[in-house]
Amino acid sequence: MLCSPIDSPQMVFGTVVRWATKKGRPKMKPVQLLSPPEHTLSISRAIFDVVKEHGPLTISDTWDHVKEMGLRGLASKRQMKIMLRWMRERQKLRQICCHNGPHKQFLYTTWFTNPKNMPSPSPTRKLQPPKP
């Protein structure tokens, strides 16, 4: 009986070696905000109010609502994303994943939102119908 090339001992040994030498994903360090505590508190309260009022939101939807508010301490979308991550670490917000067909959508919501009562997310991308 001949060994197939897939079952050869060298192939198995190489697979085991590759598997054993892989490093795990590095742990992310906790976010350390550089803004003063007063600014951090006001920004986090404003973001929390936006998410609480408008329901589960994507990052871009949250940014649009925060821009409408005219929050002075928040300079950029990048800073808001860092604040959202910090709020997630402190368990002020939670992140959920909605599968919309083959696409995933990550939404931020408060801990008090019941996932069964959430409205279904509207697709942000307009999908083109397949051409025959």
Q: What is the pLDDT of residues 64-112, one digit of tens each?
A: 999 998 888 888 999 999 999 999 999 999 999 988 788 889 999 998 8
> What are the beta bridge partners of residue 103?
100
Q: Which residues pair with 106 in a beta bridge?
A: 97
* Confidence band of 126 (pLDDT split at 50, 70, 90): very low
33-69: buried (b, 16+ CB within 10 Å) or exposed (e) per residue? Answer: eebeeeebebbbebbeebbeeebbbeeebbbebbeee
pLDDT tens string 14-70: 788 887 787 777 777 888 888 889 999 999 999 999 999 998 999 999 999 999 988
User: Is 105 within 8 Å of 98 (Cβ atoms)?
Assistant: yes
- How far is the C-alpha of 13 from the C-alpha of 15, rounded, in Å? 5
3-state helix, strand, coil in the chain (%, to 5): 45, 10, 40
- The amino acid occupying position 46 is A
